[in-house]
Amino acid sequence: MAKVQNIRTPPTEPINVAIMNHQSSLQDWRYSMFLADFYKWAKRFDFEFKLKIPLPAIALDKLGGRRLGFFRFGRNGLGLKHEITIDQNHARSEAYWQVLGTLLHELLHLWQQAHGEPSNSSYHNKQYQEKALSLGLVVDRWGHTRYTPQNSAFLNVLTKYGIKTPEIPPLDEQQMLVGRLNSSKLKLWQCTCPVRVRVARDTFRAKCLVCGSVFRRTE
């Protein structure tokens, strides 16, 4: 009889716990409450989805291009391991359920580093995409994330902990985050929030998940 594989959680590095406590206790930093909540949700996602991942070191910073989040494989310049960064503007301006989706997206990179097989040729390889899809995140190989419209594990966990989500449109109406802002081929569209997106086409049919309005081209 084949033995059941005993998957263990890799040890959390003590510095990550110290960083979490430091960030969450700061009184003179406007992002302290954001970070405290991100750590809380990281632990919830770990528990609910049985990811068995160590505690990451989570940062809020300005990311270039259209990146909403970032996971660093290996160690950074300070020697920290399991670093996750969420874009500051994204954390402040987007619907919070989408910010939590970004956090889960990055946590799945940590899951793959701990238990899977990251690929040198694709940051979002087939294994990563299948794991994300099992939780309700539809991720392409460039990292653009959409969400399965109904009854996904991700949306159910948000509901369980009191996070309200809007009605999620079909997948073909969610394709908003494409390409980089500095590309001359990308056209700027915005809703009434306003949330601004750039798309490499002259026609673009999509509704904002925050305000429900249709995106209009502005240039």
Confidence of residue 43 (pLDDT cuts 50, 70, 90): very high
Average pLDDT over residues 16-27: 96
Q: Specify the range with the lowest mean pLDDT, choosing from 54-58, 124-128, 170-174.
A: 170-174
pTM exceeding 0.85? no
| pLDDT for residue 216 | 77
Range 173-195 average pLDDT: 55
Mean pLDDT across 145-161: 93
Considering only the C-alpha atoms of the chain, give the largest distance between any 2 of them, rounded to a whole number of Å.
Answer: 65
Across 136-173, b (16+ Cβ under 10 Å) vs e yields: bbebeeebbbbbbeeebbbbebbeeeeeebeebbeeee
Which is more confidently placed, 44 or 208? 44
Mean pLDDT of 204-216: 78
Residue 175 has what pLDDT? 57
Cα distance between residue 22 and residue 183, in whole Å: 39
Q: Can you list the domains of the chain with their CATH numbers?
A: 14-160 (3.30.2010.10), 169-219 (no CATH)
| Continuous H helices in 53-191 | 88-93, 96-115, 126-135, 153-160
User: How does residue 95 score in pLDDT terms, banded at 50, 70 and 90?
Assistant: confident
Six token digits for residue 130:
């299948």
If pLDDT is split at 50, 70 and 90, which confidence band does 102 have?
A: very high
Mean pLDDT of the chain: 85
The pLDDT value recorded for residue 218 is 67
